[in-house]
Chain A
Amino acid sequence: MFRFLVRRVFGALVILLIISAVTFWLFYAVPRDPATMSCGKNCTPDMLAQIRHNLGIDHPIPVQYWDWLKGIFVGRDYAGFGHCDAPCLGYSFANREPVLGTILDRLPLTLSLAFGSAVVFLVFGIGTGMLAAVKQGKWQDKVASSASLVASSGAWASGLLLPWLVLALIWTANYTRMTRSQLVETLSEDYVRTARAKGLSRANVFFRFAWRGAMGPIVTIFGIDLATLIGGAIITESVFSLQGVGRLAVQSVDKSDLPMLLGVTVLSAGAIVIFNIVVDAVYALIDPRIRLA
């Protein structure tokens, strides 16, 4: 487990390094100059140079990237803003606020959005999936299965209903079907029959044997879906004008706000990478045949 964590955390750092470098490069690939934008109409070359110096973008791109990286670990001094303690993600070009603080302010909203709907669709999706699997072929199964179909076709209403409810509804449908099919499979496993042959109660057999076997794939898919869910925050927050991290990302692209964009990108990528490590560790806890190394 320790080796697994060390290896995965190291891998995660490499991934984040690549993501930040690519973001940096992409930002400058677009012909937009943040200094010009904040300089205003009556802009002289001197003023422009001064702004560049204040923002810390008066160096070649690789040097800028290096300064940004260094700032995360040892802090950084800006001509325009003064000292910024480590971990320093810089100051926003747009509103001159520290990037890290702004993101942390908005993070709770985004997290509650993502995890709130995750809880909704996990509870309802897995619950109805279990019901459908236990009552295979009976009316409960048919109702649950067709309800999940209706729910997933509910996307048409996305312009009318609260989009994130619709979103959760679609996810619910996915998890209903996934849970049902996983359980239908594990319920017919030999070891489930053995558990019944031992005289264990139905509920015991269902939760400790059949559901245990069905859980692994569901956890894996959930790990992947969480990333999508966080990405989905961009849409949800824009539609509802919520001031979350997703909206922050959109605004920072709009305003050519490089430090903010980098911060949001790296932090969300970090969150996704961490989720994936957690999911793999959980999978190993569920299934002792999986060895982490």
Chain B
Amino acid sequence: MTSTDQQPFLSVRDLKVHFSTEDGTVKAVDGLSFDVAKGKTLGIVGESGSGKSVTNLTILGLHDPAHTAIEGEILLDGENLLTASPRELERLRGNKMSMIFQDALASLSPYHTVGRQIAETYRKHTGASKKESRDRAIEMLRRVGIPQPDMRVDDYPHQFSGGMRQRAMIAMALVCDPELLIADEPTTALDVTVQAQIMDLLKDLQQEFGTAIIFITHDLGVIADIADDVLVMYGGRCVERGTKREVLRNPQHPYTLGLLSSMPSLEGPVDVPLSPIPGSPPSLLNPPSGCRFHPRCAFADKVSGGLCSTAQPALDVVDGRGSACHLTLDQRDEFFADFAVSRHN
């Protein structure tokens, strides 16, 4: 992940986010740690309900404080966000850290023009005049590739196409040149060509401003495109992390392996069947004992003493590389070899 001589820009330490519901406590995030350096992109991968979105809403302080218990530490540029006052968080949100949401149609206000929604963020954080903010909104729309931005600035979101709305959302998130950008599946709802354009746009903006990006997705193809480092989440915990190359080329956790196997490869032979992961994501209300992945894991019986169903495997991280699995390294080399063969020949 981060090299040792560099202070991480965002540092999340042993984060626990628990929701109290009528049925009991939902452990949405259960002991998560990671760092993101300036100018780098961390890809967070996982199924729905793995805790990836909750983690990022917590970073922004957008959780419901009445029903949420949070432990751990979130340091943004040395400042602990979990102890920051609401006013302080308001000052940071949309300014130093901002977020691109998944569903732009629902996430943009239907009652305000696109330009106004972008401009008011700028105005709030810079104190610029209405005119200056409007000009800034037009400039941002131009930068994200909206044609005729000086005309479209007064349109409402419903007058934009899906791709344009997502771009407007990005323009809004970037209007104050944030140093941390959280992108929650920003391209999931879009067709592939628009998706590629938006990914390029994010890369350009990152180069320009040195923004640290957290990219949340369940699409490993997108990760392969944009991420520097990858964090794989399962059931509210990190099961594997490392550089993009390490995780995608040499997965060390059966879950990561499963994700990769359920994705078609352009380089491999076409007749290799895709193998989806059996079963469904774990309940966070009553998580499985031991390793949370063991009920769905193809290798759980390979570990002696039924360890997988009784003991939670530790996540040992060396130089940013680590995985939480009871299998020995030799076992992994042996069992995961088939995957490597089908993948690379």
Chain A residues within CB distance 8 Å of chain B = 136-138, 189-191, 193-202, 208-209, 212-213, 286-289
Give every chain A residue within 8 A of B101 (Cβ-Cβ): 190, 193-194, 197
Q: Decide if B98 touches A197 in the complex (CB within 8 Å).
A: yes
Q: Decide if B93 touches A194 in the complex (CB within 8 Å).
A: no
Give every chain B residue within 8 A of A213 (Cβ-Cβ): 110-111
User: CA A190 – CA B89 in complex, angstroms?
Assistant: 19
Chain B residues within CB distance 8 Å of chain A = 60, 62, 66, 86, 89-95, 98-99, 101, 103, 106-112, 117, 120-121, 124-125, 156, 158, 172
Task: Give the interface centre of B66, B101, B111 by most chain A CB atoms within 10 Å.
Answer: B111
User: CA A208 – CA B120 in complex, angstroms?
Assistant: 12
Can you show 9 pairs from A to B with CB atoms below 8 A apart? A190-B106, A191-B106, A191-B108, A197-B98, A198-B172, A199-B89, A200-B90, A202-B86, A288-B111
Name the CB-closest residue of B to A288.
B156
Q: Decide if A200 touches B120 in the complex (CB within 8 Å).
A: yes
Give every chain A residue within 8 A of B98 (Cβ-Cβ): 197-198
Give every chain B residue within 8 A of A199 (Cβ-Cβ): 89-95, 121, 124-125
User: CA A200 – CA B89 in complex, angstroms?
Assistant: 10
Please tell me which one of the listed residues B60, B86, B106 contacts residue A197 in the complex, with CB atoms under 8 A apart. Answer: B60
User: CA A200 – CA B123 in complex, angstroms?
Assistant: 10
User: CA A263 – CA B290 in complex, angstroms?
Assistant: 81
With A138-B66, A197-B101, A199-B90 given, name 12 new contacts (CB 8 A): A137-B66, A191-B106, A193-B62, A193-B101, A195-B109, A198-B98, A198-B124, A200-B94, A200-B124, A201-B90, A213-B110, A288-B110
Q: A251: shortest Cβ distance to chain B, in Å?
A: 47
**Which 8 interchain pairs have the tightest Cβ spacing?**
A199-B94, A198-B94, A199-B93, A190-B106, A191-B109, A190-B107, A198-B121, A194-B107
Q: Decide if B62 touches A196 in the complex (CB within 8 Å).
A: yes
Give every chain B residue within 8 A of A189 (Cβ-Cβ): 106
Name the CB-closest residue of B to A200.
B124
Name the CB-closest residue of A to B182.
A197
User: CA A137 – CA B64 in complex, angstroms?
Assistant: 12
User: CA A189 – CA B124 in complex, angstroms?
Assistant: 22
Q: Decide if B107 touches A191 in the complex (CB within 8 Å).
A: yes
Name the CB-closest residue of A to B110.
A289
Q: Decide if B120 touches A198 in the complex (CB within 8 Å).
A: yes
Name the CB-closest residue of B to A193.
B62
Q: Decide if A196 touches B107 in the complex (CB within 8 Å).
A: no
User: CA A233 – CA B95 in complex, angstroms?
Assistant: 55
**In the complex where A189-B106, A209-B109, A286-B111 touch, is A197 in contact with B156 (Cβ < 8 A)?**
no
User: CA A148 – CA B287 in complex, angstroms?
Assistant: 41
Q: A210: shortest Cβ distance to chain B, in Å?
A: 10
Q: Decide if B62 touches A197 in the complex (CB within 8 Å).
A: yes
Q: B268: shortest Cβ distance to chain A, in Å?
A: 38
User: CA A194 – CA B66 in complex, angstroms?
Assistant: 19
**In the complex where A198-B121, A199-B125, A200-B120 touch, is A287 in contact with B111 (Cβ < 8 A)?**
yes
User: CA A289 – CA B113 in complex, angstroms?
Assistant: 11
Give every chain A residue within 8 A of B111 (Cβ-Cβ): 209, 212-213, 286-288
User: CA A287 – CA B109 in complex, angstroms?
Assistant: 10
Please tell me which one of the listed residues B90, B103, B120, B158 contacts residue A289 in the complex, with CB atoms under 8 A apart. Answer: B158
User: CA A137 – CA B20 in complex, angstroms?
Assistant: 13
Give every chain B residue within 8 A of A212 (Cβ-Cβ): 109, 111
User: CA A137 – CA B156 in complex, angstroms?
Assistant: 34
Q: Decide if B110 touches A287 in the complex (CB within 8 Å).
A: yes
Give every chain B residue within 8 A of A202 (Cβ-Cβ): 86
User: CA A198 – CA B98 in complex, angstroms?
Assistant: 7
Q: A24: shortest Cβ distance to chain B, in Å?
A: 46
Q: Decide if A190 touches B103 in the complex (CB within 8 Å).
A: yes
Name the CB-closest residue of A to B67.
A137
User: CA A208 – CA B86 in complex, angstroms?
Assistant: 19
Give every chain A residue within 8 A of B94 (Cβ-Cβ): 197-200
User: CA A138 – CA B112 in complex, angstroms?
Assistant: 31
Q: Decide if B125 touches A194 in the complex (CB within 8 Å).
A: no
Name the CB-closest residue of A to B176.
A199
User: CA A200 – CA B156 in complex, angstroms?
Assistant: 20
**In the complex where A191-B109, A191-B110, A209-B111 touch, is A198 in contact with B103 (Cβ < 8 A)?**
no
User: CA A281 – CA B172 in complex, angstroms?
Assistant: 30
Task: Give the interface centre of B90, B98, B124 by most chain A CB atoms within 10 Å.
Answer: B90
Give every chain B residue within 8 A of A209 (Cβ-Cβ): 109, 111
Give every chain A residue within 8 A of B121 (Cβ-Cβ): 198-200
User: CA A257 – CA B199 in complex, angstroms?
Assistant: 77
Give every chain A residue within 8 A of B66 (Cβ-Cβ): 136-138
Please tell me which one of the listed residues A196, A208, A287 contacts residue B93 in the complex, with CB atoms under 8 A apart. Answer: A196
User: CA A199 – CA B91 in complex, angstroms?
Assistant: 6
Q: Decide if A289 touches B106 in the complex (CB within 8 Å).
A: no
Task: Give the interface centre of A137, A286, A289 by most chain B CB atoms within 10 Å.
Answer: A289
Give every chain A residue within 8 A of B158 (Cβ-Cβ): 288-289
